Amino acid sequence: KPSEDLSNPNVVSKYKKAAEIANEAIKRVMAFAAAGKKIVDACQVGDDYINEECGKIFNKVKPKVEKGIGFPTCVSVNHIVGHFSPLSDDESKFAEGDMVKVDLGVHLDGYISVAAHTFIIGGGPATGKKADVLKAAHVASECAIRLLKPGAKNGPLTKMFTKVAEEFGVNIVQGVLSHQLERNVIDGEKVIASKFDPENPDSKVEFEFDQNEVYAIDIVMSSGDGKPKEFEQRMTVFKRDMDSTYQLKMKASRAVFSDIKERFTCFPFTMRAMDEKKGKFGIRECITHGLVQGYPVLQEKEGEVVAHIKFTALLMASGVVKISGLPVDESKIQCDKEVKDEEILKILATSVAKKKKKRNKKKKKKEAGTEGKEEGKKEEA
């Protein structure tokens, strides 16, 4: 049986292709989002693009390759922390200057790449609180990719998240976890906590990163207290709990659960992707008996703002590669705070983990020879 980790080049190419689609989907959502446009339509733009692109690839492969949305497009504005992917009748619209987080994922053959990006409606610069949270999230993501390497531990990342937040006078959002990704598993057992949480013993479990592992690094910074509450908006994003079984009593619930098993398997999905009316009714019994888990829409106090950056990283033999997540345009962040903490500055001064390649002398000579020929050709031209 071929290996399902990064030692298999086919697996690597599936992760990278999924990441490419995810990044482009975020760009499409950003291009669509404008003052007066509906948020639900922006979510649909992301989901439609993912489905369309996945529909073009791996079609002639046998056995059939499962592919599609690895996490439905969520578009959360200002003080809303995440998981906002409303039903089609929702009237929420973007306004000029809104701080918008787009969060989504793509899977090819069960290999998942996730990404999240934060931007301002109208393309203006982030200022004040918005600049503080966005700069903090950006700096934390730059530190995270440098601390992520085989043999290193998760504890220093958690400490770093809190330190970076303090540097910018903001809070890292409690309860956000960066998970190991595995085939068909979006929330693997190895987790990096965003902060040490006394109520959650899992946040203190230390482990070592290993070669050939994949991680989704998830960073959410808030100008509020970082302890969001559940939004009154009903949950619309769910995931099947693969370990639970229960004999559903209602016919409507059985129909909805059968649809979930067939179409979404083990991946999160939005209620918009099914018959919404039947789905709303049938999902209740599935939730009550633990057959599906919901992703609650969380919010900070109104008036606060939240920034979200998420990327997928491969811990390969040749080094650590960040495959998803869009670059942050620092020229659009007008922040009057900067990193002064020596430990953080030290991390930022290091380079991302790469293995030095041992190259044999013969190969070097051969390359030098061909380079000489190329130069000669250029000069002749």
Q: How do the pLDDT tens digits run along the chain, 381 residues long?
A: 778 999 999 999 999 999 999 999 999 999 999 999 999 999 999 999 999 999 999 998 888 899 999 999 999 999 999 999 999 999 999 999 999 999 999 999 999 999 999 999 999 999 999 999 999 999 999 999 999 999 999 999 999 999 999 999 999 999 899 999 999 999 999 999 999 887 777 777 899 999 999 999 999 999 999 999 987 668 999 999 999 999 999 999 999 999 999 999 999 999 999 999 999 889 999 999 999 999 999 999 999 999 999 999 999 999 999 999 999 999 999 999 999 999 999 999 998 877 665 555 444 444 455 444 444 444 444
The answer to whether the beta carbons of residues 305 and 136 sit under 8 Å apart is: no
Place of tokens 């970082």: 226
Which pLDDT value is given to residue 111?
97
pTM surpassing 0.85? yes
What is residue 306's DSSP assignment? E
The answer to whether the beta carbons of residues 68 and 14 sit under 8 Å apart is: no
Note if the bond before 228 is cis, omega within 30 degrees.
Answer: no
The answer to whether the beta carbons of residues 30 and 119 sit under 8 Å apart is: yes
Taking alpha carbons only, the member of 344, 379, 369 closest to residue 135 is 344
CA pair distance 252, 108, nearest whole angstrom: 30
Note if the bond before 63 is cis, omega within 30 degrees.
Answer: yes
Which pLDDT value is given to residue 373?
47
CA pair distance 269, 43, nearest whole angstrom: 12
State the CB neighbour count (10 A cutoff) for residue 23.
21
CA pair distance 188, 190, nearest whole angstrom: 6
The radius of gyration of the chain's CA atoms, rounded to the nearest angstrom, is 22
The answer to whether the beta carbons of residues 85 and 42 sit under 8 Å apart is: no
* Exposure of 168 in the CB half-sphere (CA atoms within 13 A): 31
- How buried is residue 283: exposed, middle or buried, by Cβ count under 10 Å (0-12/13-18/19+)? buried
CA pair distance 195, 107, nearest whole angstrom: 28
The answer to whether the beta carbons of residues 238 and 283 sit under 8 Å apart is: yes
Torsion over CA: 57, 59, 61, 66 (sign): positive
- DSSP bridge pairs for 266: none
User: Buried (b) or exposed (e) across 321-360, using 16+ Cβ within 10 A?
Assistant: bbbbbbebeeeebebeeebeeeebeebeeeeebeeeeeee
Which pLDDT value is given to residue 62?
87
Which pLDDT value is given to residue 358?
54
Which pLDDT value is given to residue 231?
76
- DSSP bridge pairs for 115: 104
